[in-house]
Amino acid sequence: MARIAIVTGGTRGIGEAISLALQAAGATVVANYGGDDRKAAEFTERTGIVSKKWNVADHQACLDAVGAIEAAHGAVDIVVNNAGITRDGTILKMTYEMWREVLDVNLGGCFNMAKASFPGMRTRKFGRIVNIGSINGQAGQYGQVNYAAAKAGIHGFTKALAQEGARFNVTCNAIAPGYIDTDMVAAVPADVLDKIVAKIPAGRLGQASEIARGVVFLTSDDAAFVTGSTLTINGGQYMH
Ligand code: CAA
């Protein structure tokens, strides 16, 4: 039977590539999105993948959404916590709201989705949770104390939940992407981005599909013994 997968932020950017790759691997995918109804409708029409709107920072909304998805499609086997936002600025300019929003979506979203899906996975003795971290959670990044803290938090969260799930065949892993060719990275000022790309040994931005292939492996039956790991995919920019 097809595995049921939820990909948060799954209609655009890296999330879109993950949704498509899991679909190609045989899963029934529900792609969560937070804002853009038009892009989500276009995505669903183009791919046949169901899209469903809720805010991953909203704890109750995550519980309700997972409940509704399980009622409609069956037990959730795979959760990919990909939804993420940036609110960049040096700490002098960063407001408390910019800090809070990024922590609540990027890190809070992982907790909320795990809280909603882990109990069922544990009972059924199968689950795959993949959290999308970042090179900037490993190395830090000027202008991103909020994002770097949230992403570093994801890496710690992953290792802790992996320990809780291991006995129940519920794995929890992270991927730490480098700079990937998405709208999020395109929003970095061009002169700043040029300097960043110049320091990537591979000499280019990554492709979203290159992250998605990692997710397919980590969610596969073959990866049963892989848990608590971080798969770094960054063109050699930072070696952790
Ligand atoms: N190291 C040291 N100094 C730096 C620096 C760096 N990396 N970047 C900028 N500075 C310095 C500047 O030279 C400048 O110094 P002076 O005032 O002496 O000239 C000072 O810091 C202020 O810089 P800015 O004028 O650029 O400040 P700003 O407030 O306008 O912008 C910023 C700051 C928002 C951080 C901007 O530089 C920026 O957007 N940087 C990119 C941040 C980034 O990489 N974000 C990643 C987004 S993608 C993502 O997050 C996905 C992922 O997982 C990889």
Which residue has the least CA distance to atom 22 on ligand 1? 90
Q: Which of 135, 138, 142, 195 to mutate to test the pocket of ligand 1 (most atoms within 8 A of CB)?
A: 142
Q: What is the pTM of this model?
A: 0.96
- For ligand 1, which residues put their CB under 6 angstroms from it? 86, 88-90, 93, 134-136, 141-144, 147, 179, 184-185, 188-189, 192
Instruction: Quickly count: other Cβ atoms within 10 Å of residue 1's Cβ.
Output: 8
- pLDDT tens string, the chain, 240 residues long: the values are 899 999 999 999 999 999 999 999 999 999 999 999 999 999 999 999 999 999 999 999 999 999 999 999 999 999 999 999 999 999 999 999 999 999 999 999 999 999 999 999 999 999 999 999 999 999 999 999 999 999 999 999 999 999 999 999 999 999 999 999 999 999 999 999 999 999 999 999 999 999 999 999 999 999 999 999 999 999 999 997
Task: State whether residue 34 is helix, strand or coil.
Answer: coil
DSSP β-bridge partners for residue 43: none
Nearest to 180, CA basis, from 11, 17, 2: 17
Q: What is the C-alpha separation between 28 and 140, in angstroms, rounded?
A: 35
Active site residue 238: no
Q: Which of 101, 136, 192 to mutate to test the pocket of ligand 1 (most atoms within 8 A of CB)?
A: 192
Sole residue written with tokens 């013994």: 225
Where along the chain do its domains lie? Answer: 4-233
Q: For residue 151, what are the contacts with CB-CB under 8 A and spacing of at least 6? A: 84, 106, 107, 133, 134, 136, 137, 138, 176
- As assigned by CATH, the class of the 4-233 domain is alpha beta
